[in-house]
Amino acid sequence: MSETSYRRRAGLSRRGRLLLLLALALLVVNAVVLFLLLRETGAPARTLVVPEGWRASQVYAAVDKGLDLPPGTTKAAAAKAHLKLPAEAKGNPEGYLYPATYPIADDTTPGGLLAYMVETANKQFGQDRTAVHARHGRLTAYQMVTIAGIVQAEAETPADMGKVARVIRNRLASGMPLQMDSTLNYALNRSTLTTTAAETRTDSPYNTYQHKGLPPTPIGNPGRQAMSAALNPPPGNWLYFVTVAPGDTRFTDSYAQQELNVAEFNENQQKAAKAG
């Protein structure tokens, strides 16, 4: 049996209550003064959230809206911002607009905000570390970001990211086309779970059903977990994967098993369509 002790609540004296009220009043006054100072000095009062996997086009639109600018302003600014990108990027910041929450103020410019995103990406990715891992895989640092972008788009959960990255690596090593719906979706400027046979014949360098190797640029802006998965995928012989149902992504090195998994995916899609 445990013992319970009781303490008598000590009450404040009249003088103590007056001091407490005075302290609270001073806190309120200080808060008001701080708010006025922040407003007068143009300190950040708003934020812009860039989710993981967003494409550059989505970031541009969000910046335009966040800064109350006409549509297309940020896209035009990106070409003139002299962003610190790899030479392979050819001035295209896709993949380097790092997902995060950014402060914005009345004097924030689209070019300055994009530069901050790219600087954040370079710091988070750790270009030296990325380059070392890339050399081990006979890839460039820019290609590692491209892989991370595909991983971000294809993996249903963070736990699947490493396996997706391994599938990409295995296909590149064996000379197989990646056949990733996410890259085709990028070419068609959409996001969908299903791809038709006709769509796989789309004429685009981002169509990895028709073109072997990686697409010419990243297809979105990956976060830290996707980049980590691209740099350090787990060992495995997987060549195929499909998310049969939410939370159920299956990886295999057998084409026959993949066909069975895809058939189950199609069946689940049909059931969902009928139920909807």
3-class secondary structure, 152: helix
pLDDT tens sequence across 37-74 = 444 545 546 999 999 999 999 999 999 999 999 999 99
Alpha helices in the chain (DSSP H): 14-40, 56-66, 73-78, 110-125, 127-136, 141-154, 158-174, 181-188, 224-231, 255-275
Chain centroid to Cα 110, Å, comes to 20
DSSP state of 195: -
- What is the reported pLDDT for 127? 66
The 3-state DSSP composition of the chain as helix, strand, coil percent (nearest 5) reads: 50, 5, 40
d(CA 236, CA 157): 18
- What is the reported pLDDT for 26? 41
Handedness of CA 50, 54, 55, 60 (dihedral sign): negative
Question: What does each of the 276 residues of the chain score in pLDDT, given as a tens digit?
Answer: 333 332 233 333 444 444 334 443 443 333 333 344 444 545 546 999 999 999 999 999 999 999 999 999 999 999 999 999 999 999 999 999 999 999 999 999 999 999 999 999 999 988 666 666 666 668 999 999 999 999 999 999 999 999 999 999 999 999 999 999 999 999 999 998 788 999 999 999 999 999 999 999 999 999 999 999 999 999 999 999 999 999 999 999 999 999 999 999 999 988 888 887
Q: Which amino acid is at 214?
A: L
**Which residues face 245 on adjacent strands?**
248
Q: Which residues neighbour 71 within 8 Å (Cβ) at sequence distance 6 or greater? A: 61, 64
Q: How big is the chain, counted in residues? A: 276
d(CA 61, CA 27): 40
- What is the reported pLDDT for 12? 37
- What is the reported pLDDT for 276? 72
Q: ∠ CA(154), CA(225), CA(246), 5° rounding?
A: 40
Whether 199 contacts 184, CB under 8 Å: yes
- What is the reported pLDDT for 193? 78
Lookup: tokens for 121: 């990406």
Whether 111 contacts 93, CB under 8 Å: no
